[in-house]
Structure 1
């Protein structure tokens, strides 16, 4: 049974994430488990997620899930806007809530860092050559 779609294509936060994520070398988008994911060979970002709190699922529909460096992960998780997402959190992923006050330069950096951890040496070299 397929997962239901858990996002709105017209979501302005998703549209901005798409522009940033798909600008990375060989990045593509697909839907997995009802949510947009951005990937090369491996996934480097999810849009939307959830947490489990007091036995209840809490949705985070406007969040970006990334795989930061472990030191950055610790720092991010001290901020109220960040959380350890269900299923992915134990593997080092962090959710970052997006809203009207979002710093989009920071989002671009988080996406790039997550991409660098998953994309492979040749793709990262292509990214570095563009800079």
Structure 2
């Protein structure tokens, strides 16, 4: 069964998410379920479009220490099929979107699934603690 595409080609909001994701070492885009997913080679670290009713959202894997606080933040929600393993969704449309914050969430999600070699490449590119530089 082929899933319908959730986004039009060249969608500017999806393109912005794409740029943030593909800036990470060895990140690749794979279409799955009619949506762009972003992977650290194989494991997913960002899934766009959590559902048909929330298309402009991303699902990310949270840091274990930050997860409880993020669950209490009204901007986050539990996405279908991702509950139970520190995955949360957040919308990325509207005028109040904090793209710096989304970039940090995306990088944190990447760090949760990346292998040591990829993490080492990321540390060389932007050492942790110095903030997102893109």
TM-score by length of 2: 0.86
For the pair 1:77 / 2:71, whether they are aligned, the reply is yes
* Partner in structure 1 of residue 124 of structure 2: 129
* Partner in structure 2 of residue 4 of structure 1: 4
How far has the Cα of 1:20 moved from its partner?
Answer: 0.5
How far has the Cα of 1:102 moved from its partner?
Answer: 1.0
How far has the Cα of 1:76 moved from its partner?
Answer: 1.7
TM-score by length of 1: 0.88
Distance in 2 (alpha carbons) for counterparts of 1:16 and 1:127: 20
Structure 1 segments of 4+ aligned residues over 3 angstroms from their partners? none
Distance in 1 (alpha carbons) for counterparts of 2:87 and 2:9: 24
Query: Could you list the runs of 5+ residues in structure 1 that have no partner in the other structure?
Result: 51-57
For the pair 1:101 / 2:108, whether they are aligned, the reply is no
Q: Could you say what the CA RMSD is over the residues aligned between the two structures, in angstroms?
A: 1.3
* Partner in structure 2 of residue 53 of structure 1: none
Query: Could you list the runs of 5+ residues in structure 2 that have no partner in the other structure?
Result: 127-134
Q: 2:57 aligns with which of 52, 63, 73?
A: 63
Mapping 1:46-57, distance limit 5 Å: 46-50=47-51
Distance in 1 (alpha carbons) for counterparts of 2:106 and 2:4: 25
3-state DSSP of counterpart to 1:91: coil
Moved more, 73-82 or 29-38: 73-82
Equivalent residues, number: 124
How far has the Cα of 1:87 moved from its partner?
Answer: 0.4
Bigger fraction of residues in strand: 1
